[in-house]
Amino acid sequence: MPTILTVDDSPSVRHVVKTVLSGAGYTVIEAGDGAEGLAKAKSTPVNMIITDLNMPVMNGLELIKNLRKVPSIVGIPIVFLTTESSDGTKQEAKAAGATGWITKPFKPEQLLAVVSKLVRK
């Protein structure tokens, strides 16, 4: 089964994401901030990363910029799951290496549709 890393400082958001994805057969690894997410992505092979934008220690943009420097992670899809929705922020995320964007609050079907489009089971 594909492994997905979810990075968010909100335990409740991580729980919802994990419940939705594990219910669909994905393995989910959690991290509470960008620095923890970067460490886990470097140490555990993942098929996709879903990250929040606004987090302590290292925000989502910094996380993506750091992830895209890691050879084993370069081609892995990274999707923002955030309350931010401005076009400028989305452009900045795309320039940093984000693959996609989901705005909170989200519907479980929406999350599953994006994940199944980007990750091959």
Question: Does residue 121 carry a pLDDT above 60?
Answer: no
Looking at every residue in the chain, the average pLDDT score rounds to 92
The domain locations on the chain are 3-113
Question: Does residue 40 carry a pLDDT above 80?
Answer: yes
Q: What's the predicted TM-score (pTM) here?
A: 0.94
Residue range 88-112: mean pLDDT, rounded: 90
Question: Does residue 120 carry a pLDDT above 80?
Answer: no
Residues in Cβ contact with 45 at an 8 Å cutoff, skipping those fewer than 6 apart = 3, 72
Question: Does residue 17 carry a pLDDT above 90?
Answer: yes
DSSP per-residue codes, 36-101: HHHHHHHHS--SEEEE-SS-SSS-HHHHHHHHTTSTTTTTS-EEEEES---HHHHHHHHHHT--EE
**What is the per-residue pLDDT across 45-91, written as a single tens digit (0 to 9) for each?**
999 999 999 999 999 999 999 999 999 888 899 999 988 878 888 89
Q: Cα separation of 109 and 24, whole Å?
A: 11
The pLDDT assigned to 74 comes to 85
Q: Cα separation of 33 and 48, whole Å?
A: 16
Helix (H, G, I), strand (E, B) or coil at 104: coil
For residue 65, how many other CB atoms are within 10 A of its CB?
14
- In the CATH hierarchy, which fold is given to the domain comprising 3-113? Rossmann fold (3.40.50)
